Amino acid sequence: MNNQIIKKISGIYLFFFICLSGAYSQEFYVDSLLKDLSIRSNDTNKVKTLYLLSKYHIYGDSEKAMEYIKSSIKLSDSLNFPTGKAASFDISGIYYQNKGDYDKAEEYYQQSLDIRLKLNNSKLIATSYNNFGVLNRKRGSFETSKEYFLKSLLISEKIHDSLALSMVYNNLGLLMDNLGRYEESVSYHLKSLSIREKLGNKNDIASSLNNIGIVFISIEKYDDALNYLLRSLTIKEELGNKRSLASAYINIGNVYFYQDKFDDALDNFTKSLKIYESIDDKRSLAATFSNMSYIARKKEDLQLALTYNLKSIKLIEEVGSLDQVCSSYNSASATYFEFKDYEKAKHYALKAQKLASENGIIPELKASLNWLYQIHTALNDYKRANNYLTQYIQVKDSLFNESSNKQILELQAKFETEKKEKEIALLSEKNIQQELSLEKRRKMIISLIAIFLIIIISTVFITRQNKIKQKQRAILLEQKLLRVQMNPHFIFNAISAIQHYILKNEPIEAGSYLSSFAKLMRSILVNSKQDVVSIETEKQTLDDYLKLQKLRLGENLEYTINDISNLDSEEIAIPPMLLQPFIENAIEHGILKKKDAKGKIDIVFSEKNGKLFVEITDNGIGREEAAKTKTKEHQSVATEITQSRIKTMKQSYKKNIIFNIIDLKNEDMSPSGTKIIFEIPLIYI
């Protein structure tokens, strides 16, 4: 095989590798490409060189990039080289995408996809789907974006294309971050990083580290975020890509801002701004101006902050990227709020809320609801303020919770642990290879020692991890229990009732209600930290809780708690607050939905055959009717937590708790309520 044929095959392979990678490698220097272009005849290799030159310039001198692309498309047509023409259309799509002309970008991406579908080339079809996914993510069309990414992922998995998989995982991670689904975002980014570290592409590795850092900013783990971002910056400085460096500066600036290091944040934002201005990236310029407005507000220069806000809004409305539009509106709302111009603040917050709600941009929806709550509070419109606060808490709970954060940190820890284990395994293998020239006895001794040490280390590590996980589960269970007891709906209703008494100038009733409420909260906080409490203590807590519910519901609720005369209520113990979630369920999902009768709850304690029996009976609408009004995603938190607590009690006390739920029926077999029966082995304090 002669040198010319070898060069031709190598050129074709290199071309397709570059087309699929999406990474703008710094290894292709302009001088060598220009020299190659000058000696090329009009053949397919010249198309490839023109493509590489356009790809090199697209994020720097984009107009020069388009000159090369026009030549590439023209030459591809004359040579009947559809693969080269499709790749050139991709660069054209990127050009218009960066300019914010998404419709024009879509036209070029579609022309590229049409060619690849005719060629029936799976790899290149996957690349086109990935391009459409990126385009729609930047537009803010997140569901459409996800559909295209999953199409690309399916093909890439089928043909075992590691490079394409790393890109799709990375883009899905970015998309999940936009949607506020941070656990999924980290999972995708770690998958991408794992593949990219195996492939060894520094630019891609830096990108993944940067993106993971962004997620940790979102969940307020700033030290972890800074660690990933600085690792990314080190690689990006080595590579020298302007756009990539600007992204690193703005993200590091965000971390410093949240750490109240405003001068450091401004320094990084300024570096980022200069780069984005030089490459005319309007979307990123808008984001940078928005961030700089927050610093100006912190430094109490409200006029400068407003200037930045208006620049940001003007730029981003031209581009039309929905998530960044919401962010800029929220930032403007914050500035007008500081100016005490509440009408304009409300105007921008409502625009952000509408756009975020319609497009599922949860992080920005949370921010807009928070500003609307503060604005209406400042306007003394407490009814609307309370409504927005309720919505804000619901969105915040769905977006940002301890369970999700724990899972994200566990994913990170698992990834780092697996990475270290692989490094140890590779190091051990290298040492073994170096020792192959030594005598067999020495090799065997070293191998046995290494295996012995690994076994010991693994045993200690696994034992330690199990203890940590068990402790984490116990803490998480306690947090879940406390959140269930301190139900936001109940707290809001209680506070509203107190407010009602105050406004009606009934201080005695308000004081009584507030005292009962404080007593109940104290009981919950104290009891939730105990493994068991006396029956008398539990009975008193339930009585306090039901008194508050009766104050709230009036004649629509009656309840009884038996006097437990056959039990030593001070000596016999029960897990704290085991019953309250079911009582709350009975009220919220059973009694409150009755239309023609008063609600009633009866709680009975008794002892039989060395066991404590507790029955909770209500005359609500029953589980079957209640289920019809619940959403598809609804799950019984009370049942879930109770099962977890029973498992923990069994491990701690070697005793099992049994509980059953019975659906009560009338004579005509219609639902007449629910009965919960607990069977608990006697535990003495």
Q: What is the pLDDT of residue 166?
A: 92
CA dist 459 and 440 (Å) reads 28
pLDDT average, residue stretch 391-405: 66
Res 112: pLDDT: 92
Q: How far is CA 552 from CA 138, 490, 556, in A?
A: 48, 10, 9
Instruction: Give the separation between CA 594 and CA 494, rounded to whole angstroms.
Output: 21
pLDDT at 502: 76
- The better pLDDT of the pair 306, 502 is held by 306
CA distances 669 to 14, 186, 665, 672, Å, are 75, 51, 5, 9
d(CA 232, CA 645): 43
Instruction: Give the burial class of 250: count Cβ atoms within 10 A of its Cβ; 0-12 exposed, 13-18 middle, 19 or more buried.
Output: buried
- In the predicted model, what is the mean pLDDT of residues 292-317? 85
Q: pLDDT-derived band of residue 483, with 50, 70 and 90 as boundaries?
A: very low
DSSP3 helix / strand / coil % (the chain, rounded to 5): 75, 5, 15
- Residues near 33 by beta carbon (within 8 Å), at least 6 away in sequence: 49, 52, 53, 56
- Report which residue type is found at 343: E
Contacts of 550 (CB under 8 A, 6+ apart): 557, 558, 559
30 vs 135, higher pLDDT: 135
What pLDDT is attached to residue 564? 60
Lowest mean pLDDT among 14-28, 176-190, 245-259, 366-380: 14-28
Locate tokens 């270290």: which residue? 420
What pLDDT was estimated at residue 3?
42
pLDDT digits (tens, 9 = 90+) for 616-665: 999 988 888 887 776 544 445 666 777 777 777 676 666 678 888 999 98
As a whole number of angstroms, the distance between CA 670 and CA 422 comes to: 62
Residue type, 220: E
Residue that has been written with the tokens 């008494």 in this structure: 501
Q: Return the CATH number of 528-684, one of 3.40.980.10, 3.40.50.170, 3.40.50.970, 3.30.565.10.
A: 3.30.565.10
pLDDT the model gives residue 215: 87
pLDDT at 133 over 90: yes
In this prediction, residue 20 has a pLDDT band, given cuts at 50, 70 and 90, of very low
Contacts of 539 (CB under 8 A, 6+ apart): 561, 564, 569, 605
Name beta bridge partners: 660: 677
Helix axes 362-378, 342-359, angle to 10 degrees: 150
pLDDT tops 90 at residue 494: no
Residues 413 and 418: their CA atoms lie apart, in Å, by 8
- In this prediction, residue 674 has a pLDDT band, given cuts at 50, 70 and 90, of very high
578, 645 in Cβ contact below 8 A? yes
Give the max Cα distance, the chain. 103
- Tell me what pLDDT residue 38 has: 77
Residues 6+ apart with CB under 8 A from 327: 287, 290, 352, 364, 367
Please, which pLDDT band fits residue 414 given cuts at 50, 70 and 90? low
Q: What percent of the chain has pLDDT over 90?
A: 19
Amino acid at 437: S
Axis crossing angle, helix 637-653 with helix 440-485, rounded to the nearest 10: 130
Question: CA 486 to CA 471: how far, in whole Å?
Answer: 23
Angle at 289 between CA 309 and CA 263, to 5 degrees: 115
Give the residue extent of every domain in the chain: 402-485, 528-684
Section 176-199 average pLDDT: 88
**How does pLDDT run across 341-367, given as a tens digit for each residue?**
999 889 988 988 898 888 777 888 888
As a whole number, the mean pLDDT across the chain is: 80
Distance CA 206, CA 202 (A): 6
pLDDT digits (tens, 9 = 90+) for 437-458: 566 677 778 878 888 888 888 8
51-60, 122-131, 216-225, 287-296: which has the minimum mean pLDDT?
51-60
Taken in order 290, 296, 302, 304, is the CA torsion positive or negative? Answer: negative
Q: What's the average model confidence in pLDDT over 291-309? A: 86
Predicted local distance difference test score (pLDDT) of residue 11: 39
Q: Residue 83 is encoded by which pair of tokens?
A: 């693969």
At residue 480, the pLDDT reads: 54
Residue 615, classed as helix, strand or coil, is strand
Whether pLDDT at 244 is above 60: yes
Q: Determine which helix (DSSP H) or strand (DSSP E) holds 246, and give its type and residue range.
A: helix 242-258
**Is 310 a residue whose pLDDT tops 90?**
no
- Rg of the chain over Cα atoms, rounded to whole angstroms, equals 32
Cα angle, residue 297 at apex, residues 292 and 300 outer, rounded to 5°: 130
Could you tell me which residue, 40 or 224, shows the higher pLDDT? 224
9 versus 573: the higher-pLDDT residue is: 573
